[in-house]
Amino acid sequence: MKFWPLSSTPRLWGALLVTAALTGCANMASHDKLATDMQTAGQSAGIPAALAKLEASATTPEEKAALLYNMERGELLRMDRRYDDSTSAFLLADTKVKEWEETAKTNPQKLLGTVGAALVSERLKVYEGQDYEKVWLTTRLALNRIAQGDFENARVDVKRTHEREAVIAEFRAKETVAAEEEAKSKGATSGSKEINGYPVETLNDPEVLELKNGYSNALSHYLAGFLYEVLGESGLAAPGYRKAIELKPNTGVLEEGLRGLDTRTSFTWKRRQRMTDVLFLVEAGDAPARKPKAFTLPVPTGSGVVAVSVSYPVIEPSNDPLLSNLSAAGYDLKLEKVVDVNVMARRALKDEMPGMVLRGMTRAVAKGVLQNEMQKRGGLLGGLIAAAATVATEQADDRMWRMLPGRVYVARGYLPPGEHRISINGRMLEEPIRIDGQYALVPLRIYHNSVITGKVASLGQLPAVAAAPEPQPAAAAVTETRTKTTTRSTRTTSKPVAPKAAAPKPAVQ
């Protein structure tokens, strides 16, 4: 076996030491494992146990201020109905996203500098959040504010959704160009054979290809339309509903939101309205996981071809059963899927893959050259050390906001004010809900074997209905004909006016 002195190969040893230092300092722990532990704890011992598992993973101020930590924590607190604490956690996360937005607008080159990730590992990158997570964050903040009755700040949150999407779109276009230039400078090229064996069908199925991008979702824009409608700004509500339809076409509840807007916001309808316009948001399942999968690539060097390991993430499609029906107060409302987080995550991964492949090839070329040089100078031992370092540092990034729901369904219809029992797909919820007001928003989360009912938000007031007067006895001098006329008139005025059928219509079976 051949050995060599440290002084004879300072550059190679320096590269190895830098690699080892970076690997040791970076957080290479698997978020997928932490998320799995949280979900297991939540299923067996409840949300507080899942929250405790998460909080135990962050011990330093930097870890407690991290974006992903606060997104996960905010979602668990929201599920536990601790809305004030949840909003505080989401605002900490939002601060990080705002910093990213500002840098993306003013100094995008700073974000495009992925030297550490390109040469060592994707997990060395600072976690900036998936693009759809950035948009979900403002939506979650808006839903928390609505639950707390803070409609003005909720309005600010939904407005920021549109602005955030524009920043994301512009930056991602620049990122792809930068990745291509970086790869070319290192002598790497991209092509389908470079990820031979990757399950491309998970990224190219019809549901993924139907999405316009990996960050916009119909719920965020429908919620914007609903909130603007509630606040009396129908001119802003219409674009929100219209955008939701564009993102999820042929969805009845979304189309009815726009089609019935003028009727619902008219003075005549508000004067006649006797039932509450109820929006149900039903969330089910869990957000998907990114599972690292290793691929071996042949890298040409001066001494021949070297096999280098490259890792890319894979997201498997969800097999959770679909929901279809919600019943309350004798009405059957159709549940329609408006967001599938699994599909969004796969679309985001599909959009990210070109840059990810180019960065992977860049790493493969650099590590292949290093491995070849180590083997030439150090023989078998040197080759083994280089190969071990390559495998240890080449781990796909599995960080994702895992406490989000897997799918979101929407149902909307008119229900009489009061307390009602709710059933979803024939499953009766344990606790009744109370609704009143002109509008109500009911958040429900199906979490493993339980249903979490969020705080019901009531918005506006139904018009008061005057009590019908008692019929008066007829005077002796009044003729029989006059008495019949008076009685018929009294019956007519004592009957309450039934609301006309107006969108959204309850789907009564």
User: Which pLDDT tens digit goes with each residue over 352-380?
Assistant: 888 788 777 777 777 777 766 666 666 65
CB atoms within 10 A of CB 475: 8
With a cut of 50, say whether residue 342 has pLDDT above it: yes
Q: Give strand pairing partners of 280.
A: 411, 442
What's residue 46's pLDDT?
93
- Contact predicate 324/400, CB 8 Å: no
Residues 6+ apart with CB under 8 A from 54: 34, 38, 69, 72, 73, 76
Instruction: Answer yes or no: is pLDDT of 14 > 50.
Output: no
Sequence-distant (6+) residues with CB within 8 A of 340 are 207, 318, 406, 407
- What pTM did the predictor assign? 0.82
pLDDT of residue 178: 74
**pLDDT for 241 beyond 70:** yes
Task: Give the integer Cα–Cα distance in Å for 149 and 396.
Answer: 42
246 or 474, greater pLDDT = 246
Could you tell me the pLDDT band of residue 117, with boundaries at 50, 70 and 90?
Answer: low
Please report, for residues 159, 327, 443, 504, the alpha-carbon distance to residue 330 in angstroms, rounded to integers and kept in the order given.
36, 7, 20, 17
CA distance readout (Å), 31 to 42, 58, 68, 153, 501: 16, 12, 10, 32, 50
DSSP string, 228-281: HHHTT-HHHHHHHHHHHHHHS-S-HHHHHHHHTHHHHTSHHHHHH--SEEEEEE
Average pLDDT on 454-477 reads 66
pLDDT of 8 higher than 90: no
User: What is the pLDDT confidence band of residue 433, given thresholds at 50, 70 and 90?
Assistant: very high
Q: What is the pLDDT of residue 288?
A: 96
More confident residue, 81 or 498: 81
**Among 346-355, 364-373, 407-416, which is the least confidently predicted range?**
364-373
Architecture, CATH, for domain 6-275+338-395: Alpha Horseshoe (1.25)
Centre a 10 Å sphere on the Cβ of residue 481 and count the other Cβ atoms it contains: 8
Higher pLDDT, 290 or 7: 290
pLDDT one-digit tens code per residue, 178-237: 767 766 776 655 443 446 788 999 999 999 999 988 899 999 999 999 999 999 999 999
| Region 58-80 average pLDDT | 97
pLDDT tens, position by position, 18-37: 444 444 444 567 899 999 99
pLDDT tier at 485, thresholds 50, 70, 90: very low
pLDDT tens, position by position, 304-314: 776 777 889 99
Buried b (16+ CB within 10 A) or exposed e, 422-447: bebeeeebeeebebbbbbbbbbbbbb
- The answer to whether the beta carbons of residues 372 and 302 sit under 8 Å apart is yes
User: Rounded distance, CA 358 to CA 49, Å?
Assistant: 41
DSSP string, 12-45: HHHHHHHHHHHHHHS--S-HHHHHHHHHHHHHHH
- The token duo for 415 is 């229900």
Q: What is the per-residue pLDDT for 21?
A: 42
pLDDT score for 3: 32
Residue 10 has pLDDT above 50, yes or no: no
Radius of gyration of the chain (CA): 29
- Is the per-residue pLDDT at 345 higher than 60? yes
User: Could you give the CA distance from residue 473 to residue 359 in angstroms, rounded to a whole number?
Assistant: 91
What is the average pLDDT score of the chain?
A: 82
Alpha-carbon distance of 35 to 41, in angstroms, equals 10
> Nearest to residue 387, comparing CAs of 408, 404, 403, 370?
370
Which of 145, 127, 179 lies closest to 459, judged by CA? 145
